[in-house]
Each structure stands twice: as structure tokens, then as C-alpha cells.
A and B are shown apart, each in its own frame.
Chain A
């Protein structure tokens, strides 16, 4: 893949790799194909942004990669602490346990359990059992870094939207998952708070060496990432390394028209493979 072979950087390991993913909703005329034979690899220890027009399959890709949803066909391999794990061999329960130990997820909304305090929410995956214990020192460090030390015993409704999302980020980080997926984590936040959350994700990559994959449609947000993957019509259009905001805007415009005119998109896609 191109991302891995960027000439300016040394080759990095792949954190999660997808091969020929297909996902179809409905059938016949009403069939929607959010993933069409999509293959991609995300580098470990990097911050990757995923962009694309609405309905291009970004969320579906995140869900499938995080093991929340199952593709119709294709192969996903996640590099975990115990070596690479292929999803296709796992049953529902194993997949759940894998999610618990090796995947972090940050949603756009409804990230926290109202009945639990911030602290309980953060340690939730570990407290579900299965041997993964919390590294207390790391927990302290993350909580400190995210500025939540004073808020640990508050319930979600006592926190602002930005604080709630920071709790969600902390939850995704403390178990040191192989990959943190974030689906439009700033979508419900105002500009300043959004920027703050992005900053934290950036920090997680830089300070803790965390792999982060984030869906966004904000070009400014994507500019924080190391690289940006452009999706259109269920396929990877292009991967840009540290693009400028202008580059992104142009690429998005292009992707948008590609999605609107599938013939063109397919031509580009064909050209790429």
C-alpha cells in the first residue's frame, strides 16, 4: 500500500489491515454497498484521518474494522499484543473479547453510560473482566493529561459535552488498545472543544505511541493527522500524506463528484489498482 511506502519515512508496521472488504445492505434495486472490495492498511503508531462524502462508507468501515459489524466478505487482520489476529476465524464471543482488549472506540454521541461515574466509565472495558487489568500509573497519566482528575466522580450529566467526550477518549486510551477508532468525535462539539479533543488524540499518538484512526469531514481536523484516506462510494480514492487544507479541500471536491458520478469513480479506482 502506498501509505506504508511513503518515501520520506521509514516503513512502519501495519496496525490493522483490510483485504477486499464488501458490505451490502438490502437487496435488489434497493441494495446499498457501503464497502465495495475495499483494501487498506493503517500504519501503527500513527494518526490517520478518513474522509469522504456522506454515505461513502466511512462509518461502516470503522465498524467493520473495530469488529462491531461483520463484512459480507473480505479479511481483517488486527496486530494485537499477542500477534496478528484475523477476524474471520473468530466467533461472536471471541470478537467481543478482542474488542474489549484491543480496540478503543469513540463515538460521535452517546459515548458514556449515564448510570456510571466518569471513572467507572473509563475503566469499564477492564472491569468487564477477562484478565485485562488497568495499569494504574497509566490511568493516572491519561486522566491527568486529559484534565479529568477533578471530574472522576461526576456522572455524565454533570459534565459538559467536551468533558464527556474527553472521558470517552480516556476510556479508549487506558486499556492501551491496538487501535483507537473515532467516528466523527468532534461532530457534536463546538469548534474550541473539538480542537481540544483533536489535540488530545494527537497527543495520544505522539506521547503514548497510540494508533488512532479518525473519521471526520472537517478538513482542519484532518490536517492534524499524519495521513488522510479519502473514501468514495465504498472504495479508497486516494491516500494523502500530511496534506494541506487546500489539498484536502480539492481532493474532497473531487471525491464528491466521483461519488455523484460512479462511472468516473470507477475509472479512477481502476486506474489505482
Chain B
């Protein structure tokens, strides 16, 4: 630094003013680094899970294929060694093999903590070291070691017993024999257990009277070869050949079609594993790779989401940084000119500005890396606590450090290049100008404007087109291009709009002067106004697109659900007591009793042919009040009105509809037979068991029936904002008095709402980084504009302007920029949200209507204005404190 007095001067004079650019670097680097570190943790977690199962084995041979195969000699009496054991025997005799153990598992069912429990239990593998978290290994029959995560899910601890049911297929009698047993939990195993959730001793497993399915053959190499990838691959080949020859000799079962009498072919699969006669042979590494490949989808999505939002944050940051440097250079023009006059070359000034950027980027990068690491550590810690105990802790990788530092330096240096070029162009004569009179060059950058208009028109047109064609890719591209166009036009558009708004505000008598000055300032520094607003605009557009998009998607989904399930919920009975509960419940918006009559239901579609049940008469007025759509009794294909029937009555596969004859209880004399109605009935999930719901229009002989409230059911309309919790509570409240409760449709609706809301929250949190940066940018811009306007402020104060008005001028400027960003951003957000959802929902019959969540949008506006006002607080105070005399002296 000693060598470059220009850089030294810059740093010394710009220190305070660089903080905003520095903060922008730090925030975006923090974001990207924490994303990278967390993705690393996620990958390591996955790897550890993959590793867990392969641990200790050099080769894993899938023997699941032997499960259903008959022994080749046809003597499968269940007593002799199975084919997997024979293979194990043969493999263990191969050279270099220390051990080959055949593992099998059984399927057990039971009950624990009031829940149905399903458990795959296997024999304890000798080739795998199992980490005991609590208790001990199973030693006797009837003892089981449970995976810790599994045990916790069912609230089981060491020493607890659990009754289990087993099933065995008896080939001789062709029946399934059931038995039961009691298992005691001997201990809990930590780590990940993928294939089975519990381990028994081989004897213990054998003692269970259940079908034992071969699962895998784990092979361990002896000595140094253990864990050596090359030895593993050699053994893999040998084993494949062994299997091929055993199949050929008829010692192992195989699909005859595959062998055709000769030796089966050995196929190499894309991941390197070998496939022979339906048996897969993986080496240790291939097991891990396969597992990771299987889960790579998740990781790729995570990486793209993380980096996508990172890119947005970085882009916003580079706008803010570039802006800071532009203004720094502008504010230093006299110093730069003086340096030029005494002999600093243009190159020196350029280099000093770039070096300043590099230094700032490096410092910001280092801080960002540290912060990002801390943030990731915190999140990983929270994940371990709240989500998955085995989630890997955050480790600062070389990649994350390099990416963070490179990003910080690169973005800042690139952002500093334009200003640096400008610094180099400073003429030495500028130092000599007595008073800087802002040269009022309002040159319109035609290329930029025309390009901007073309991009904006083309891109936004693309969004409309995509909405009509249901082409999300066109829509996404259009949105990006269109938004870039708007940003390009910003230089012309934004200052004009800000200044227009400023003049509007100036109509208020108390804001006459500040309003006009703020408007004028927006036009005097169009670039800065545009860039600051752009940074804010990006945040506002993204946030409002997401918010309105979520609402629109939710509504269209809600309409879709209403079509499919017009009735939210139903109760099997109706009683005054239930009515009382429904009346008081805030979750229930409306409820109606539908009277019913006991009847015989006859249909070929019904499994038993005939069922004693009931018929409910759905009065139009009652249904209208409850249903969410008019198509309650519309069958999709026929279009005509149909009756509705409980789905469990219809035979499987007869789901579409069935002809049902409904006959009221009674005798021929009582006219019951004459009252019989034959209707087409379609299944509907909300119809209680053994019930047909008859619409009024189909009840031709209604007068012959006696529909009564004693056989009535209740239909409900549930509040749109009901959560899953509300519904569960409602279910519990009415269950006692109402018997059968069907909340399916409402539950569906609530779960979709919950998913959309969760996604929205996550996205908004991820966007927070870029929004924060843009607010920093506003504060920065104002601070610098305040610096430039000290003289102006002093003059205004000297002329008698109050402190309040001077401060108001600055705050007003911030609010005007925020207003422009909000108006433009909300408009674009509305278009993108509507276009996005329309292009994603591929239905021509539904015209997507934009739903605006006014409360949330109001909050976005409020928060943005508040942030702008806060960002302007310090600068406004600084400017308003300018002593009337101070700014008027020479320097």
C-alpha cells in the first residue's frame, strides 16, 4: 500500500462511505457460503447414510431374487439351507474371502404407542459394527435391537416388550398361517439403518415362525485386501462367474428364460455393478454411489435453489456495490483531478479504484465466509436437534472458502471497473473549476432505452403467451428477459417517475419545497436513482410474485378441489348435541341435516349384491348452502345427475359408477316395492358407509318414502382458513356424538394450503438476503447524496428552511424511490404470478384469475416504506444538522 498513495488516500477518505458496499458484499457472500456449506453437510449426511449399510462389507450381493424362486431340485421344504446360504458357502471358499454371510429378514406387524407398527427385522450382521446408543446387543431369542430413530418414533425404550404378529405361507395347504410372538428391546442402535429397522440373533430370527426372505449376502475380504477397491472389483468378477457356473450346473435357481440352458450372461451395469441371473453384485463404493445417485435428485434441487437465490442476492449486491463506487468516484472527482494535476496517471487512478474494490471484496469475502460458516453451523445444529439427529455438522470446505472469497473479490472488482474507468477519465482541469456546477447533460442512452423497450415488450409478451400456451419454460425465460428490459429502461423511466411523484407530493403545502427538491434530485442523478430503485425493485418484484403466485395457485387449487370434492366434510348422523358443537365451532361455517330412510341397496356393482343401508335425501336448498361447486351430483362423463354412494360399497375396479336399486324397508303391501328407485350412483368420499345420497331431482317417488331425521346425516362447510390442527380438533369434538366423521376434502384443502404456505415462507426467507442488500443500498445512496448536497442544504438552511424540512427532503426521496419500486414491482409481480400459475396449470377450461392477498401485499408495502424511512433516518439527520454557514465555505 505504501507504493500507492492514491489507494491510500482513497481508503482513508472513503472508509466510512465504503461500509454500505462492504455490507452488500458480506451479506451476499454469507448467503452463498452458508448455502454451499449446508449443501456439503447434506451430501455428507447422505454419504454417511450410504456408508452405514455398506460398512464392513467389501461386496454386497442382492439375494432378494432367491426369495420367490423354488429350489432347483424342487425340494423346498424349508428345512435345508436356502440358495442364498449355499451361495454364501461357495463364496466363502473363494480365495481371499474372510467371511460371507447370508442375511435374511422377516416382516412383523404389531402395535406400539397406539399406532400400527410394521417392522422389517433382520439377523445381526457380523460384518458390520453396530454402534449401540443404549442397552446392549440381542443375545437370546426374543430379544431385539432396534434402530434408535425407529424406536423413538414408536416410543419404545430398552426393556420394553412389543407383541408382534407373524405370517407364514404354507405351500402344502396353500394357506397363510398366523402366529404371534413377544419381543423385548435389548438396546437401541445409533446411526443409519436403511434395510431393516431391527436386529435379532440368527437363532432368534430363525425362531420366529415367519417367512424368511433372503435379503443380501455380505462378503468381507481377508487381510490387506479388505477395503481395497481393486481387490473388491476382482472379487466381484469372480463371484459373478461363480454364480454363472452355479446357475449353469443347476445349483442356484434362476429364471429359465434367462439362462436358456447355458451359462447366464454377466452384464455390467452403468454404475459398475454386475448383474448375473437376476442377482446384483455391488462393491462397497458402488453401494454408496448407487444410494447417492438415487438421492442426488434432492441434492441437485437443493444446489439449484441455493445457488439460484444466491445469484439473485449477488446480482442485487453488485448493483449496490457498483453504485457505491460510482458515487465514491464522483465525490472524489476534485481530489482525483488534483492528483492528476500533480502527476498521477490515468492508469494509477484506475488501478487504485480497482484495488480498492479488490481489498473491500477480500475483506467482505473473509467476513462473509466466517458469517456464512457460523450461520450454516447454526442451521445444521438446529437440523440435528429438530429434524435428523444424524445430520452432518457444518464443515467449512475449501470450495466454500474459495467460492466466497472469489465471489466477494470478483463481484466487487467487476462492480468497480466502470467507476474505475470513469476515475481514469478525470481531467486535471476539474480541480481548477471554482465551484462544481453539475453539468446538466441529459443525454438519453438510446441503445439502452431501445434495447430495454424491446426486451420488456418481448419478455412480458412471452409471459402472456406462456400463460395461454401453458408453457412454463417460455414463461420463465420471458419473465427474466422482460425484467431485464425493465431494468434497462430504468435509467430513463425511474427518475422520470420518481420526479413525477415528487411533484405530485409537492402539491401538499407543507411538502412544497422538499417535494420539489427531491423530485429535482432524482433527475439530477438519474443513474444513481435508477440503480438504487432497481435493487429495491428486484426484491419487491420477487416477493410480490411469490406472494401473489402462492395465493393464485392456492385459489386455483382450491377451485380444483371444490370440483372434485364439493362437500368439505360430513358426519354419519345428526343430533342436537352434535349440532350444538358445530354451532359453536369456529372451524365450521355452515351445516345442514339431510334426512334419511333405511333401505335395501341392490346392485351388481356391490360386492355382496345387496346391502341393508340407508338412503339420504339431499334437498337442493340444503346442498346449495354447503357445497363449494354446483356439480355435486354431476357425474363427469354422463353429465346427467347421479346419486352418490359410499366408495367402500363398490367393488374394486367398479369405481366409475353403478346402477343401484333403492328399496325402502317394508313390504309389498306397504308399497315399498312400488317406491323403489333405480339410479346411477357414483362414489363420493364424503358419503358415510352403506349410504346412498339421492338428489331431489332423482327422487321421483319421494312421497312414498319417509325420510326422517333419525336416519339423517350432516354435511358441513369448513372455513377456508382452517388448519390441519383445527380439523383434528373438530374431528375429536364431534366423534363421540356423531359416529362416522369424514373430513377428507377439508383435510386435503388444509394440507395443500399448508404446503403452499410453507414453501412461501421458505422462499421469502431465502429472498431476505437480497431484500436486505437492497435496503442497505438505499441507505448508502442517500448517505452519499447527502454528502454531495451539504452545500445545498447549508444554503437552504441559510435561507430559512427548517431542519425538519431539510430532513424531510431526504426521507421523501427514499420514500419516492420505494414507491416507484413498489408500484412497478407489484405490477410486474402480479403479471408474473398470474402468468406463472396459468402456464403451470395446463387446463384450457379454467381461466386463471389473479388472487391478490391484500393483507400480505399491504404488509409488503408497509415494510418496504418503513425500511426506506429507516434507511433514510441517519442520512436525513446528518443533512438536517448541516450548520447554515458550513457548506458555504470553499471546501
How far, in Å, is A29 (CB) from chain B's closest CB?
Answer: 21
Q: Do B346 and A129 have beta carbons less than 8 Å apart?
A: no
A69-B342 contact given A113-B9, A120-B5, CB 8 Å threshold? no
Of the candidates B8, B9, B432, B890, the one whose C-beta lies within 8 Å of that of A188 is B890
How far, in Å, is A155 (CB) from chain B's closest CB?
Answer: 10
Contacts of A99 in B (CB 8 A): 341-343, 428
Contacts of B858 in A (CB 8 A): none
Is B484 among interface residues, defined by CB-CB distance under 8 A?
Answer: no
Those of B1-35 within 8 Å (CB) of chain A: 3, 5-6, 8-10, 12-13
Q: Do A96 and B9 have beta carbons less than 8 Å apart?
A: no
Q: Do B343 and A96 have beta carbons less than 8 Å apart?
A: yes
Cα-based distance from A68 to B334 in the complex (angstroms)? 14
Over the window 96-130 of chain A, the binary record of Cβ atoms lying under 8 Å from chain B Cβ atoms (1 yes, 0 no) is 11011101010101111111100010001101111
Q: Do B890 and A128 have beta carbons less than 8 Å apart?
A: no
A128-B343 contact given A63-B429, A109-B890, A120-B5, CB 8 Å threshold? yes
A128-B335 contact given A114-B13, A114-B891, CB 8 Å threshold? no
A113-B335 contact given A93-B347, A100-B342, A128-B342, CB 8 Å threshold? yes
Is B338 among interface residues, defined by CB-CB distance under 8 A?
Answer: yes
Cα-based distance from A59 to B431 in the complex (angstroms)? 13
Since A68-B428, A96-B346, A171-B342 are in contact, a sample of 9 more A-B pairs with Cβ atoms closer than 8 Å, ordered by chain A residue number, is A63-B432, A96-B345, A100-B343, A105-B341, A107-B431, A109-B434, A110-B891, A115-B10, A183-B432
How far, in Å, is A162 (CB) from chain B's closest CB?
Answer: 14
Contacts of B434 in A (CB 8 A): 109
Is A92 among interface residues, defined by CB-CB distance under 8 A?
Answer: yes
Cα-based distance from A52 to B735 in the complex (angstroms)? 106
Of the candidates A112, A115, A188, the one whose C-beta lies within 8 Å of that of B12 is A115
Of the candidates B12, B13, B339, B341, the one whose C-beta lies within 8 Å of that of A68 is B341
Residue in A101, A103, A120, A128 whose Cβ sees the most chain B Cβ within 10 Å? A128
Instruction: Give the A-B pair count, Cβ closer than 8 A.
Output: 82
How far, in Å, is A133 (CB) from chain B's closest CB?
Answer: 13
A115-B335 contact given A107-B432, A110-B890, A127-B5, CB 8 Å threshold? yes
Of the candidates B5, B335, B346, the one whose C-beta lies within 8 Å of that of A114 is B335
Contacts of B348 in A (CB 8 A): 128-129
Contacts of A183 in B (CB 8 A): 432
Contacts of A112 in B (CB 8 A): 338
Contacts of B335 in A (CB 8 A): 113-115
A110-B345 contact given A68-B429, A116-B9, A120-B5, CB 8 Å threshold? no
Is B340 among interface residues, defined by CB-CB distance under 8 A?
Answer: yes
Cα-based distance from A112 to B347 in the complex (angstroms)? 21
How far, in Å, is B578 (CB) from chain A's closest CB?
Answer: 81
A-B contact pairs, 7 of them (CB 8 A): A113-B338, A115-B12, A115-B13, A120-B5, A125-B342, A128-B348, A188-B890
Is B673 among interface residues, defined by CB-CB distance under 8 A?
Answer: no
A110-B5 contact given A93-B345, A99-B343, CB 8 Å threshold? no
Is B359 among interface residues, defined by CB-CB distance under 8 A?
Answer: no
How far, in Å, is A68 (CB) from chain B's closest CB?
Answer: 5
Of all A-B residue pairs in the complex, the 5 with the closest CB atoms, nearest first, are: A100-B343, A115-B13, A115-B12, A127-B5, A68-B428
Those of B345-361 within 8 Å (CB) of chain A: 345-348
Cα-based distance from A120 to B338 in the complex (angstroms)? 14
Chain B: how many interface residues by the 8 Å CB criterion?
A: 28
Chain A: how many interface residues by the 8 Å CB criterion?
A: 32
Those of A187-237 within 8 Å (CB) of chain B: 188
Cα-based distance from A40 to B558 in the complex (angstroms)? 90
How far, in Å, is B862 (CB) from chain A's closest CB?
Answer: 41
Contacts of A130 in B (CB 8 A): 343
Contacts of A105 in B (CB 8 A): 341-342
A residues whose Cβ falls under 8 Å from a Cβ of B: 59, 63, 68-69, 92-93, 96-97, 99-101, 103, 105, 107, 109-116, 120, 124-125, 127-130, 171, 183, 188
Of the candidates B12, B344, B431, the one whose C-beta lies within 8 Å of that of A110 is B431
Cα-based distance from A232 to B107 in the complex (angstroms)? 111
Q: Do B340 and A59 have beta carbons less than 8 Å apart?
A: no
Q: Do A115 and B9 have beta carbons less than 8 Å apart?
A: yes
Over the window 407-433 of chain B, the binary record of Cβ atoms lying under 8 Å from chain A Cβ atoms (1 yes, 0 no) is 000000000000000000000110110
Q: Do A93 and B343 have beta carbons less than 8 Å apart?
A: no
Q: Do A69 and B343 have beta carbons less than 8 Å apart?
A: no
Contacts of B10 in A (CB 8 A): 115
How far, in Å, is A145 (CB) from chain B's closest CB?
Answer: 21
Cα-based distance from A96 to B337 in the complex (angstroms)? 12
Those of B503-534 within 8 Å (CB) of chain A: none
Cα-based distance from A68 to B342 in the complex (angstroms)? 9
How far, in Å, is B430 (CB) from chain A's closest CB?
Answer: 10
Contacts of A113 in B (CB 8 A): 9, 335, 338-339
Cα-based distance from A160 to B8 in the complex (angstroms)? 24
Cα-based distance from A103 to B429 in the complex (angstroms)? 15
Cα-based distance from A100 to B345 in the complex (angstroms)? 9
Cα-based distance from A99 to B345 in the complex (angstroms)? 10
Q: Do B346 and A92 have beta carbons less than 8 Å apart?
A: yes
Q: Do B343 and A125 have beta carbons less than 8 Å apart?
A: yes
Cα-based distance from A188 to B434 in the complex (angstroms)? 12
Q: Which single residue of chain A is at the shortest CB-CB distance from B11? A: A115
Q: Do B338 and A129 have beta carbons less than 8 Å apart?
A: no
Cα-based distance from A248 to B18 in the complex (angstroms)? 53
Cα-based distance from A183 to B432 in the complex (angstroms)? 10
How far, in Å, is A173 (CB) from chain B's closest CB?
Answer: 13
Q: Do A96 and B431 have beta carbons less than 8 Å apart?
A: no
Q: Do A101 and B342 have beta carbons less than 8 Å apart?
A: no
How far, in Å, is A186 (CB) from chain B's closest CB?
Answer: 14
A128-B432 contact given A93-B347, A99-B343, A109-B890, CB 8 Å threshold? no
Q: Which single residue of chain A is at the shortest CB-CB distance from B344? A: A128
A96-B5 contact given A68-B428, A107-B432, A110-B890, CB 8 Å threshold? no
Contacts of B343 in A (CB 8 A): 96-97, 99-101, 103, 125, 128, 130
Contacts of B429 in A (CB 8 A): 63, 68-69
Cα-based distance from A173 to B347 in the complex (angstroms)? 25
Cα-based distance from A101 to B344 in the complex (angstroms)? 11
Q: Which single residue of chain B is at the shortest CB-CB distance from A161? A: B890
Those of B840-891 within 8 Å (CB) of chain A: 890-891
Q: Which single residue of chain B is at the shortest CB-CB distance from A156? A: B891
Residue in A92, A113, A127, A183 whose Cβ sees the most chain B Cβ within 10 Å? A113
Contacts of A92 in B (CB 8 A): 346
How far, in Å, is B7 (CB) from chain A's closest CB?
Answer: 11
